[in-house]
């Protein structure tokens, strides 16, 4: 009753409370102090090349730089590491072009380092390179033992002589490309020693140096060419970082020239070798000359920047690529970064480093010809490796954040080399030597198959554009050519970044992760449009119009049949206009002012269709909106003024219902199971609207019926109920069957995309889930109808067709929330309980003197609330992931409490019940009360006794109407009666 006395106060409190829960309300606009960098280096640029060892690139530079730990020419491997009489393969300086890709998996590297699969030798013998290469082909041993003479690499030779070379910089892990790249920016691979599909899809979750920089209010930027491999980090997919990604060709030189390069710069190469833009990452079989041109371009761009005197460039290689190096890799004293052990069959402990790789440090603060060897701490066993980059950034930029892992806390840092001079050098070369010709005897091969790393990049691209949900995902890229892969990757990045920028403009939460859908599976794909249109047609024509109309007409007395039919028409036409003008925008608008409480764009379908919604989606959602008004109309039937129908239908369809739909069904809604920040870690699952549609309509009807009061004659002078049965059981049964059919548009049709595939199925489509949803809907309704049949037989002593029909509908209402996420057996439980909920509420209503001619409040409100609770108890995790995450492997979600899913989902379901009841009460209660006070709600007793057909619509629905003697009036008789009064 308090809600009735103080509706505005409760509404204000509810609105304010919900707005406080929005992400934007949790951030205060208090400025943070600017972070000060005290070191001479204000910008660090990192360039990570591909798959070459130190000896392969710099080994032969020792002839002119004897202080380096390079090659003498006496180093060799035997073809069989365990056979002292096996032929020797000596190092050579004849590397020019490597057409094949040497072995560099974790098992291949183990053999290269130790000569066998036994890893106990310390120091590592480094004697298995030729042996492992021989297993890949007869010519491979000489290839992996070869290196470049300095003249073939003029850019590296010049930079090594002008600046600093690390001759003890190791790969972070004896594994392939991707794990080592992760260490560069996060000092861990999060347990990855190879391609890990789940993490490639969802992004690697570890903390990165980018996060530390962001916390300290320092800037970073990634300048990419084909695709930024840094997007393997999940945190970099957040909206707030979208603007940190720049097209190298368009922005790198411009930012350098303007002096606007950020504090931490990552430059990514062209990873795909195509004719128009050859690869420049040095990965075999790419042309190393292209890599030399690329490094020259980067250096000269930085050298000409006004930021040069406060800048450093670090160039390294992610791993050795299977090429020989003679320096033993450290195998002891190396800490596991985060306690994670690698997967089977190797269970690698991440406690030893990979093979030595080429690394250059370039800055005007570095003396000419510097060779950097073993670091001075922080521990006696510390080495330079990729984790040295975040370790140095922390010290160099005085970051207040903790170390990322135990590895960067252990790794040597190189910041001290910037303090050896009092001022920057003035003699750094402005230009580097020209790179003439090519080291490869042929051009790019666009029709070639992809390397392992390129396949991983395509898998990343498939996540960016949403294709990872397709069945083809595990094999995507395997059958692509390089040309095809390049186009695919560039298009995926373009779509991903465009979507992110659009979301930022729309005011989305900056901490949200950008998640894309497949281009062919957008809501406006023709197949999805057809599916949604057909579902809307089933709901609209069969359920809302025919089904509701027949059910309502049969459930009222004959003297009110025309009135109830007209109210069904009014619900549709008035709801159409209000939902078009306001409702759809409030429910699904995602403009800049949108928030978790209400949508603020797409009024009158402005900017529809777009990438998210087509006209068919509006049509489908409108069918839900007018269903809500139809439910409420049933509760106040046979005694309500026609003008009241017009008013409440417009308000309910255009404002009250759309806000609840926004909370639960919009991707930005605070209760939505599809939003980026799940309420209670779950969100409320209300798949087709037990709460959003039925509970809303039921509660609205409750308030209307309470404020209006019971029909004349419904209860006698002693408060005992008087039977007022509907006039036509045939129409009720016909309406029930039509509604049954229409519910297949309501529930299965709520899969608004039919072109969705799950990783472990062979069909491209949601058909299995759609079929299961139809089955659960049928079983719940059938069980509820059966229980009602026998239950009422026990209670009243006869078989009642009308009660069975309502029981059937109660089962449908209850299962509507969880129809897509529960097993068929659970649907039977749902229907069983729904029947007793309906029977119990009907008996309670009679005891309380509550009059609802169609039992809409009890059926839609009571069974709708039970349906929400039922979903929180019985939702199956697999089906939840299918429905809300397209069946992505590796996902975890809250699910049914009784199935072991914890309290998150059931708590969210209870919250939905509470807020829906509260919201509808503080909006529709005052509206009905206002109409009552203005005498716009209820007709007079005389008009009610005469019947609404004759009093409001000029005649009866039936030509030979003869319901009872008191109401057998012609319109002229009714007019005379009114005049006499």
The pLDDT of residue 472 is above 80:
no
The pLDDT of residue 515 is above 50:
yes
Higher pLDDT among residues 32 and 449, named by residue: 449
The pLDDT of residue 449 is above 50:
yes
Q: What pLDDT does residue 771 have?
A: 84
The reply to whether omega before 345 is within 30° of 0 (cis) is yes
What's the rounded mean pLDDT across residues 660-682? 87
Q: What pLDDT does residue 33 have?
A: 54
Q: Which residues contact 268 (CB under 8 A, 6 or more apart)?
A: 222, 223, 224, 225, 226, 227, 228, 229, 230, 248
CA 503, CA 522: separation in Å to the nearest integer? Answer: 16
Kindly indicate the confidence band of residue 796, based on its pLDDT and cuts at 50, 70 and 90: confident
- DSSP β-bridge partners for residue 715: 721
Kindly indicate the confidence band of residue 973, based on its pLDDT and cuts at 50, 70 and 90: low
Return the CATH superfamily for domain 519-938.
Ammonium transporter AmtB like domains (1.10.3430.10)
Exposure on the CB side of residue 755, measured as CA atoms within 13 A:
16
Q: What pLDDT does residue 122 have?
A: 92
Task: Answer yes or no: are the C-beta atoms of 847 and 793 closer than 8 Å.
Answer: no
Q: What pLDDT does residue 897 have?
A: 95
**Which strand (E) or helix (H) includes residue 313?**
strand 311-317
The pLDDT of residue 269 is above 80:
yes
What's the rounded mean pLDDT across residues 303-310? 96
Smallest Cα–Cα separation from 502: which of 583, 609, 600, 612?
612
- The lowest-confidence range among 310-319, 652-661, 754-763, 849-858 is 754-763
Kindly indicate the confidence band of residue 452, based on its pLDDT and cuts at 50, 70 and 90: confident
Kindly indicate the confidence band of residue 268, based on its pLDDT and cuts at 50, 70 and 90: very high
- Residue 173 CA: distances (Å) to CA of 50, 191, 735, 942, 967: 15, 11, 69, 89, 91
CA 734, CA 738: separation in Å to the nearest integer? Answer: 6
The pLDDT of residue 301 is above 60:
yes
* CA-CA-CA-CA torsion sign (695, 696, 697, 703): positive
Q: What pLDDT does residue 764 have?
A: 42
Q: Which residues contact 648 (CB under 8 A, 6 or more apart)?
A: 629, 632, 700, 704, 924, 927, 928, 931
Q: Which residue has the tokens 């990783």?
A: 759
What's the rounded mean pLDDT across residues 645-671? 93
Kindly indicate the confidence band of residue 474, based on its pLDDT and cuts at 50, 70 and 90: low
CA 366, CA 425: separation in Å to the nearest integer? Answer: 8
Kindly indicate the confidence band of residue 171, based on its pLDDT and cuts at 50, 70 and 90: very high
User: How many whole angstroms from its chain centre is CA 82?
Assistant: 52
CATH number for the segment(s) 48-71+150-317+328-418 = 3.40.720
The pLDDT of residue 151 is above 80:
yes
Q: Which residue has the tokens 């020259």?
A: 296
Q: Which residue has the tokens 């008191």?
A: 966
Token pair for 746:
């309501």
Token pair for 876:
């199956």
Token pair for 609:
């269709």
- Residue 846 CA: distances (Å) to CA of 103, 567, 858, 881: 80, 25, 11, 43
What's the rounded mean pLDDT across residues 270-286? 88
Q: Which residue has the tokens 């920047």?
A: 305
Considering the chain, what percentage of its residues have pLDDT values greater than 90? 57
Higher pLDDT among residues 345 and 726, named by residue: 726
Kindly indicate the confidence band of residue 676, based on its pLDDT and cuts at 50, 70 and 90: low
Q: What is the mean pLDDT of the chain?
A: 86
- The lowest-confidence range among 33-37, 533-537, 837-841 is 533-537
State pTM to two decimals: 0.56
Digit-coded pLDDT (tens) for 559-591? 999 999 888 888 889 989 999 999 999 999 876
What's the rounded mean pLDDT across residues 702-710? 96
DSSP classification of residue 435: -
Q: What pLDDT does residue 67 have?
A: 94
Range ranked top by mean pLDDT from 11-25, 485-499, 913-927: 913-927
The pLDDT of residue 455 is above 80:
yes
């Amino acid at each position: 009753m308090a809600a009735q006395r103080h509706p505005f106060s409760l509404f204000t409190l509810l609105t304010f409370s919900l707005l406080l829960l929005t992400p934007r309300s949790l951030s205060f606009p208090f400025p943070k102090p600017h972070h000060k960098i005290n070191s001479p280096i204000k910008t660090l640029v990192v360039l990570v090349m591909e798959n070459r060892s130190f000896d392969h690139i710099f080994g032969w530079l020792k002839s002119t730089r004897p202080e380096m730990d390079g090659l003498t020419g006496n180093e060799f491997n035997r073809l069989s590491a365990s056979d002292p009489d096996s032929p020797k393969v000596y190092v050579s300086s004849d590397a020019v072009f490597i057409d094949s890709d040497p072995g560099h998996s974790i098992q291949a590297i183990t053999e290269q380092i130790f000569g066998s699969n036994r890893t106990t030798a310390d120091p590592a013998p480094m004697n298995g390179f030729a042996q492992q290469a021989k297993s890949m082909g007869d010519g491979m041993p000489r290839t992996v033992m070869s290196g470049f003479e300095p003249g073939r690499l003029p850019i590296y030779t010049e930079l090594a002589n002008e600046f600093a070379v690390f001759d003890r910089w190791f790969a972070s892990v004896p594994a392939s490309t991707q794990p080592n790249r992760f260490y560069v920016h996060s000092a861990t691979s999060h347990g990855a020693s190879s391609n890990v599909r789940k993490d490639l899809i969802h992004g690697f979750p570890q903390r990165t140096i980018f996060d530390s920089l962001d916390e300290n209010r320092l800037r970073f930027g990634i300048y990419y060419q084909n695709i930024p491999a840094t997007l393997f980090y999940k945190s970099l997919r957040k909206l707030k970082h979208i603007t940190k990604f720049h097209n190298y060709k368009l922005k790198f030189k411009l930012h350098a020239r303007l002096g606007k390069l950020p504090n931490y710069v990552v430059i990514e190469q062209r990873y795909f070798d195509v004719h128009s833009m050859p690869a420049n990452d040095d990965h075999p079989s790419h042309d190393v000359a292209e890599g030399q041109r690329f490094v020259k371009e980067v250096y000269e761009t930085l050298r000409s920047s006004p930021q040069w005197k406060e800048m450093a460039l670090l160039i390294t290689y992610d791993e050795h690529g299977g090429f020989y190096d003679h320096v033993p890799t450290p195998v002891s004293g190396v800490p596991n970064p985060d306690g994670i052990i690698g997967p089977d069959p190797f269970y690698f402990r991440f406690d030893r480093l990979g093979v030595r790789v080429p690394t250059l440090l370039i800055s005007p603060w570095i003396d000419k010809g510097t060779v950097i060897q073993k670091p001075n701490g922080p521990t006696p066993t510390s080495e330079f490796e990729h984790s040295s980059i975040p370790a140095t950034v922390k010290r160099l930029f005085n970051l207040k954040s903790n170390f990322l892992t135990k590895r960067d806390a252990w790794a040597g840092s190189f910041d001290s080399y910037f303090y050896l001079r009092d001022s920057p050098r003035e003699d750094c070369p402005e230009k580097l030597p020209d790179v003439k010709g090519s080291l490869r005897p042929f051009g790019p091969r666009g029709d070639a198959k992809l390397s392992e790393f390129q396949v991983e990049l395509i898998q990343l691209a498939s996540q960016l554009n949403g294709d990872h949900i397709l069945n083809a995902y595990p094999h995507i890229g395997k059958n692509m050519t390089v040309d095809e892969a390049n186009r695919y990757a560039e298009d995926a990045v373009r779509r991903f970044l465009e979507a992110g920028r659009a979301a930022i403009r729309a005011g989305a939460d900056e901490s949200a992760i950008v998640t894309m859908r497949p281009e062919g599976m957008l809501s406006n794909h023709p197949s999805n449009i057809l599916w949604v249109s057909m579902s809307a047609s089933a709901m609209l024509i069969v359920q809302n119009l025919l089904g509701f109309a027949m059910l309502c007409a049969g459930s009222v007395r004959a003297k009110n049949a025309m009135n109830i039919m007209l109210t069904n028409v009014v619900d549709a036409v008035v709801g159409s206009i209000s939902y078009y003008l306001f409702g759809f925008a409030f429910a699904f608008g995602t403009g800049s002012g949108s928030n978790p409480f209400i949508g603020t764009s797409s009024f009158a379908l402005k900017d529809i269709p777009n990438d998210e919604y087509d006209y068919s989606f509006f049509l489908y959602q409108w069918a839900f909106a007018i269903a809500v008004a139809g439910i409420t109309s049933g509760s106040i039937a046979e005694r309500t003024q026609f003008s009241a129908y017009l008013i409440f239908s417009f308000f309910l369809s255009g404002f009250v219902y759309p806000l609840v739909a926004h909370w639960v069904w919009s991707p930005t809604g605070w209760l939505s199971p599809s939003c980026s920040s799940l309420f209670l870690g779950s969100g409320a699952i209300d798949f087709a609207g037990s709460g959003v549609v039925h509970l809303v309509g039921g509660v609205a009807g409750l308030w209307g019926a309470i404020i209006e009061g019971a029909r004349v004659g419904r209860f006698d002078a002693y408060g005992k109920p008087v039977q007022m049965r509907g006039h036509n059981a045939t129409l009720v049964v016909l309406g029930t069957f039509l509604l049954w059919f229409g519910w297949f548009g309501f529930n299965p049709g709520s899969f608004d995309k039919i072109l969705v595939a799950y990783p472990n199925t062979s069909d491209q489509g949601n058909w299995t889930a759609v079929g299961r949803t139809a089955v659960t809907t049928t079983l719940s309704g059938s069980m509820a109808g059966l229980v009602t049949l026998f239950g009422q037989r026990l209670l009243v002593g006869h078989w009642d067709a009308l009660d069975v029909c309502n029981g059937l509908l109660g089962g449908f209402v209850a299962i509507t929330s969880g129809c897509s996420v529960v097993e068929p057996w659970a649907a039977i439980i749902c229907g069983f309980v729904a029947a007793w909920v309906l029977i119990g509420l009907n008996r309670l209503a009679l005891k309380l003197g509550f009059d609802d001619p169609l039992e809409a409040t009890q059926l839609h409100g009571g069974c709708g609330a039970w349906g929400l609770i039922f979903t929180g108890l019985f939702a199956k995790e697999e089906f939840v992931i299918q429905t809300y995450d397209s069946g992505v492997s590796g996902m975890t979600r809250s699910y049914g409490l009784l199935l072991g899913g914890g309290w998150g989902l059931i708590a969210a379901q209870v919250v939905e019940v509470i807020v829906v009841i509260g919201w509808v009460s503080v909006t529709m209660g005052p509206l009905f009360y206002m109409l009552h006070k203005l005498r716009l709600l209820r007709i007079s007793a005389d008009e009610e006794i005469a019947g609404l057909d004759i009093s409001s619509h000029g005649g009866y629905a039936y030509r030979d109407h003869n319901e009872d003697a008191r109401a057998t009036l012609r319109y002229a008789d009714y007019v005379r009666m009114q005049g006499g009064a």
